[in-house]
A and B are shown apart, each in its own frame.
Chain A
Amino acid sequence: MSPWLEGQHEAGLRAAGAGGHSQLVRALPWLPLPDFPSGTRPCRGKQRGVQQPPRHFCFASLQLRAGKGVGPRGPHGPCCRSARRWPRTLTRTRPRARPDCGRCPAGGAGGPADGVWWDGKAGGDGTGSTAALRRARRQEQLVSKRLLRDDSAAEERGRDGAEIVPDPLSEDEVLELLRGVQRGSEDRKRSLSCLRHALQNKDTQQKFVRLDGSIRTLVGLFTSSLADVQMEAARCLHELSHSSDPAVAEACLPVTSYLLTYLSGHSVEFTELCLYTLGNLVVESEAVRKQLLPQGIIPVLASCIQSPHEAVLEGLGYVLSQLLQAKEAPTEIVPLVLDSVLPQHMLRLVCSGLKAGTGAAVEFAWCLHYIVCSHIADAALLSLGTLPALTTLLLDLASEIPLDAPEGLELLVCPVLRCLSNLLAGDTGCQGQIRDERLLVALFLILQSFLQQHPFIVQEGLWLLNNLTADEPFFCSALLALDLLPALLQLLPCSPMAAELVLTVLCNIAEKGPALCRQLHQALPLLLPALALPDPQAVGQGLELLHLLFLHCPEVAADFIRQGGQQALEQHQSSPVLQGRARALLDMARQPPGASATGPGHSTVSAFP
Chain B
Amino acid sequence: MAMLPLPLPPGLRRRLQEGPGPPPPPAPPPPPPPPPAPPFAFTPRRLRLGLHHPLLEDGDVHRHLYLQGVLTSLAEVAERPKVSEFSCHISGCCQVFDTLEGYEHHYNTLHRNVCSFCKRSFPSAHLLDVHILEWHDSLFQIMAEKQNMYKCLVEGCVEKFKSSKDRKDHLVTAHLYPADFRFDRPRKVKSGPCHVSSPAKDGASVPMDVSVEMSEPFQVDPMETGPSENVEIPHPPASPDPATPEKRFYKSRIPSTICFGQGAARGFKGPRKKV
Residue contact A224 to B223, C-beta cutoff 8 Å:
yes
> Which of B1, B18, B62 sits near A414, CB closer than 8 Å?
B62
Chain A residues near B45 (CB, 8 Å)?
A: 2, 470
19 contacting pairs across A/B (C-beta < 8 A): A59-B68, A73-B75, A81-B78, A91-B73, A118-B2, A149-B269, A213-B233, A221-B223, A225-B121, A225-B207, A261-B127, A267-B108, A294-B174, A296-B154, A421-B49, A452-B3, A463-B47, A483-B9, A581-B40
Contact (Cβ within 8 A) B75 A77: yes
Say yes or no: B7 contacts A137, CB within 8 Å: no
Instruction: Answer whether residue B139 sits at the interface, using C-beta atoms and an 8 A cutoff.
Output: no
Nearest-neighbour CB distance to chain A for B107, whole angstroms, equals 8
- The reply to whether the CB of A376 lies closer than 8 angstroms to some CB of chain B is no
| Residue from A150, A314, A599 having most chain B Cβ neighbours under 10 A | A150
A459 contacts which chain B residues (CB < 8 A)?
55, 58
A310 adjacent to B9 (CB under 8 Å): no
Whether the Cβ atoms of A414 and B59 lie closer than 8 Å is yes
> Would you call A444 and B6 a contact (CB within 8 A)?
yes
Q: Are A548 and B42 in contact, with the CB atoms below 8 A?
A: yes
Q: In the complex, identify which listed stretch (A139-147, A554-562, A566-574) lies at the interface while the others stay far away.
A: A139-147
- Contact pattern, A 287-324, Cβ under 8 Å of B = 1, otherwise 0: 00001001110111011000011110010001000000
The reply to whether B176 and A295 contact each other, CB–CB distance below 8 Å, is yes
User: A421-B49, A441-B12 given as contacts; is B65 within 8 A of A451 (CB)?
Assistant: no
* Contact assessment for B33 and A149 in the assembled complex, using a CB-CB cutoff below 8 Å: no
Taking A184-B224, A225-B121, A469-B44 as contacts, is the C-beta distance between A451 and B6 under 8 angstroms?
yes
A436 touches B42 (CB 8 A): no
Chain B residues near A407 (CB-CB < 8 A): 71, 73-74
Question: A226 CA to B219 CA in the complex, in Å?
Answer: 11
B266 contacts which of A76, A268, A403, A437 (Cβ < 8 Å)?
A: A268
Q: Is the CB of B112 within 8 A of A266?
A: yes
**Which of B20-28, B141-149, B160-168, B189-197 makes up part of the contact surface?**
B20-28
From the candidates A224, A268, A437, name the one contacting B262 in the complex (CB within 8 A): A268
Q: What residue of chain A has the Cβ atom nearest to residue B264's Cβ? A: A88
B169 interface residue (CB < 8 Å to A): no
A435-B24, A448-B5 given; name 15 further pairs at CB < 8 Å.
A63-B72, A76-B74, A89-B266, A91-B267, A92-B73, A117-B58, A152-B271, A152-B273, A228-B105, A228-B274, A262-B123, A265-B123, A272-B267, A456-B58, A470-B45
A225–B109 touching, CB < 8 Å:
yes
- Choose from B9, B64, B268, B275 the contact partner of A482 (Cβ within 8 Å): B9
With a cutoff of 8 Å between Cβ atoms, the chain A residues found around residue B207 in the complex are: 223-225
**A547 CB contact (under 8 Å) in B42, B70, B269:** B42
Q: Which residue of A lies closest to B181 (CB)?
A: A257
Return chain A residues, CB-CB under 8 Å to B48. 422, 425-426
Q: Is A592 an interface residue (CB 8 A)?
A: no
Would you call B218 an interface residue if the criterion is a C-beta within 8 Å of the partner chain's C-beta atoms?
A: yes
Q: Which of B37, B65, B174, B178 contacts A133 (CB 8 A)?
A: B65
Q: A208 at interface (Cβ–Cβ under 8 A)?
A: no
Q: Which of A311-344 contact B (CB under 8 A)?
A: 311, 314, 318, 325
Query: CB of B220 within 8 A of chain A?
Result: yes
A220 and B9 within 8 A (CB)? no
Beyond A227-B106, A294-B174, whether A133 also contacts B224 by CB under 8 A is no
9 closest A-B pairs by CB: A89-B267, A299-B156, A456-B58, A580-B39, A264-B124, A425-B48, A225-B208, A544-B42, A227-B106
A188 — nearest CB in chain B belongs to which residue? B218
Output the least CB separation between A319 and chain B (Å).
12
Does B154 contact A295, Cβ atoms closer than 8 Å? Answer: yes
A457 to B56, CA, bound (A): 10
Q: Which residues of chain B are near A224, meaning CB under 8 Å?
A: 207, 221-223
In the complex, which residues of chain A have a beta carbon less than 8 angstroms from the beta carbon of B177? Answer: 257, 295
Cβ contact within 8 Å between A452 and B44 = no
A73 surroundings in chain B (CB, below 8 A): 75
Most A Cβ at <10 Å: residue of B66, B157, B262? B66
Report the Cα distance A77→B49, complex, angstroms. Answer: 40
Q: Is the interface of A mostly helix, strand, loop or mixed?
A: helix
- Picked from B36, B63, B273, the residue with its CB within 8 Å of the CB of A411 is B63
CA–CA, A216 to B53, complex, Å?
43
On whether A296 and B3 interact (CB within 8 A), knowing A213-B231, A220-B234, A438-B20, the answer reads no
Whether, in the assembled complex, A355 has its beta carbon less than 8 Å from a beta carbon of chain B, the answer is: no
Please give, as numbers and ranges, the residues of chain A lying within 8 Å of B229 by CB-CB distance.
179
Q: Are A294 and B46 in contact (CB under 8 A)?
A: no
Is A183's CB under 8 angstroms from B72's CB?
A: no
Contact partner of A463 among B55, B70, B220, CB < 8 A?
Answer: B55
Indicate the member of A28, A142, A257, A497 with the most B CB atoms within 10 Å. Answer: A257
Instruction: Tell whether A91 pairs with B76 under 8 Å between CB atoms, given A9-B54, A469-B44.
Output: yes
Instruction: Give bound CA distance, A270 to B110, whole Å.
Output: 14
**B232 at interface (Cβ–Cβ under 8 A)?**
yes
Q: A224-B207, A470-B44 are in contact. Are A414 and B270 (CB under 8 A)?
A: no
Contact yes or no, B182 A487, CB < 8 A? no
* Bound Cα distance A77, B74 (Å): 7
Query: Which residues of A, 79-127, contact B by the 8 Å Cβ criterion?
Result: 80-81, 84, 86-96, 114, 117-118, 120
Q: Are A296 and B1 in contact (CB under 8 A)?
A: no
Interface-side segment among A164-172, A379-387, A506-514: A506-514
Report yes or no: B178 in contact with A291, Cβ–Cβ below 8 A: no
Q: Assess the B16–A151 pair: CB atoms within 8 A.
A: no
Q: Which residue of chain B has the shortest Cβ distance to A358 in the bound complex?
A: B265
The residue that A311 contacts in the complex, of B8, B218, B267, with Cβ under 8 A, is B267
Chain B residues with CB below 8 A from A95, complex form: 68-70, 72
Given the complex of chains A and B, what is the CA–CA distance between A78 and B74 in angstroms? 8
- Does B246 touch A at the CB level, under 8 Å? no
If A91-B73, A118-B1, A267-B109 touch, whether A425 touches B46 (CB-CB below 8 Å) is yes
Contacts of B271 in A (CB 8 A): 151-153
Residues on B with C-beta less than 8 A from A63 are 72
Residues of B within 8 A of A80 (CB): 74-75
B126 part of interface (Cβ distance < 8 Å): yes
**A6, closest chain B residue (CB):** B54
Chain A hits for B61, CB < 8 A: 130, 133-134, 137, 142
> Which of B2, B6, B47 is within 8 Å of A490, CB to CB?
B6
Nearest Cβ on chain A to B214's Cβ, whole angstroms? 9
Whether the pair A435, B72 counts as a contact (CB closer than 8 A) is: no
CA distance A386 to B126 in the complex (A): 33
Q: Is A254 an interface residue (CB 8 A)?
A: yes
Closest to B4 in A: A490
What residue in chain A is nearest B43 (Cβ atoms)?
Answer: A511
Beta-carbon contact of A359 and B265 below 8 Å: yes
* A466 contact from B6, B13, B46, B157, Cβ within 8 A: B46
Contact A76 B75, CB 8 Å, known A5-B47, A261-B123: yes
The answer to whether A487 and B6 touch across the interface, beta carbons within 8 angstroms, is: yes
Q: Give the distance to chain A from B171, nearest Cβ to Cβ, in Å.
A: 9
Give chain B residues whose Cβ lies under 8 Å from the Cβ of A491: 6
How far is B8's CA from A587's CA once the two chains are assembled, in angstroms?
Answer: 36
Q: A138 with B57: in contact, given A148-B268, A399-B13 (CB under 8 Å)?
A: yes
A62, A452, A455: the one within 8 Å of B70 (CB): A62
A548–B41 Cα distance when bound, in Å, is 11
Is the Cβ of B7 less than 8 Å from the Cβ of A296?
no
Nearest-neighbour CB distance to chain B for A457, whole angstroms, equals: 8
- In angstroms, Cα B2 to Cα A393, docked, is 29
Which single residue of chain B is at the shortest CB-CB distance from A3?
B41
Least CB distance from B127 to A in Å reads 7
Q: Is A436 a contact partner of B20 (Cβ separation < 8 A)? A: yes
In the complex, which of the residues A262, A299, A325, A418 contacts B154, with contact meaning CB atoms closer than 8 Å? A299
Would B155 and A296 count as touching, CB distance under 8 A?
yes
Closest residue to B101 on the A side, CB-wise? A269
